Amino acid sequence: MNHMLRLVTITAIVLLFGQSWAEAENRPDPASDLKLDVGEGKRVYQSSCSGCHDTGKNRAPKLADKDAWAKRSFEWFSVMNNHATKGFLNMPPKGQHYELTDQDMANAVFYMLDQIREKP
């Protein structure tokens, strides 16, 4: 009987986990709903990000310094957006501009990536 109870418990856990996993797989990525706007990103960057990323304050990588960005995972929008929004290393969440929305942050990151990437 003990083996049967264990088997039923394990089966229930597997079924619940599988259902949760399937629901998570079908849930849309919140970033996918964002409409990225490089012009709006430039505005947000200039008003909220440039104080550190133009000067290197608190060891922030300067936007114009391509070598400073070369070893970062900037090619992954979601990684950079997550770091900018939630904070990473010396950067506080939203650069301490807590009034910025997730859309504002995504636009600023989009603008920064546009500036960092090699242009053909």
pLDDT tens-digit readout, 33-58 = 778 999 999 999 999 999 999 999 98
Between the ranges 3-7, 8-12, 115-119, where is the mean pLDDT highest? 115-119
Q: Structural domains in the chain?
A: 36-116 (1.10.760.10)
Q: Would you say 29 and 37 are in contact if contact means Cβ atoms under 8 Å apart?
A: no
Q: Would you say 49 and 108 are in contact if contact means Cβ atoms under 8 Å apart?
A: yes
How many beta carbons lie within 10 A of that of residue 49, not counting itself?
A: 25
